[in-house]
Amino acid sequence: MDTLRAILLMVLSMALLAASDAFLKLASQVAPVGQVMLMLSTGATLLFVLLARLRGVSLTLADAFERRVMLRNLCEMIGALGMIVGLSKIPLSLMAAIMQTAPLVVTLGAALFLREPVGWRRWLAITLGLAGMLMVIRPGGSGFSGWEIFPVIGVSGLAARDLVTRVTPGRIHSIALSAYGFAAVFPVGAVVLLVTGAQITTQPVVFAHMAGAVVVTAAGYLAVTMAMRMAPVSSVAPFRYTRLVFTTGLGMLVFGERPDGWTLAGATLILGAGLYTFLRERRLARQESAVLRP
Nearest 10 degrees: Cα torsion 163, 165, 170, 171: 160
What is the tens place of the pLDDT at every residue in 88-101? 999 988 888 888 88
pLDDT of residue 103: 77
What is the tens place of the pLDDT at every residue in 7-23? 888 889 889 989 999 99
**The dihedral of CA 290, 241, 103, 139: what is its sign?**
positive
What is the tens place of the pLDDT at every residue in 229-259? 676 655 676 777 888 889 889 999 999 988 8
> From CA 218, how far away is CA 280, in angstroms rounded?
31
> From CA 243, how far away is CA 276, in angstroms rounded?
17
Query: What does DSSP assign to residue 199?
Result: P
Q: Alpha carbon 2 to chain centroid distance?
A: 26
Query: Looking at this protein, which amino acid is placed at residue 246?
Result: F
> From CA 135, how far away is CA 28, in angstroms rounded?
26
pLDDT of residue 270: 86
Contacts of 77 (CB under 8 A, 6+ apart): 157, 184, 185, 187, 188
Enter the pTM of the model. 0.82
What is the tens place of the pLDDT at every residue in 171-224? 888 888 889 998 999 999 999 999 988 899 999 999 999 999 988 988 887 787
What is the tens place of the pLDDT at every residue in 247-293? 889 999 999 988 888 888 888 888 888 888 777 777 766 666 665 55
> From CA 38, how far away is CA 207, in angstroms rounded?
12
The model's confidence at residue 39, banded by pLDDT at 50, 70 and 90, is: very high
Share of the chain above pLDDT 90, in %: 36
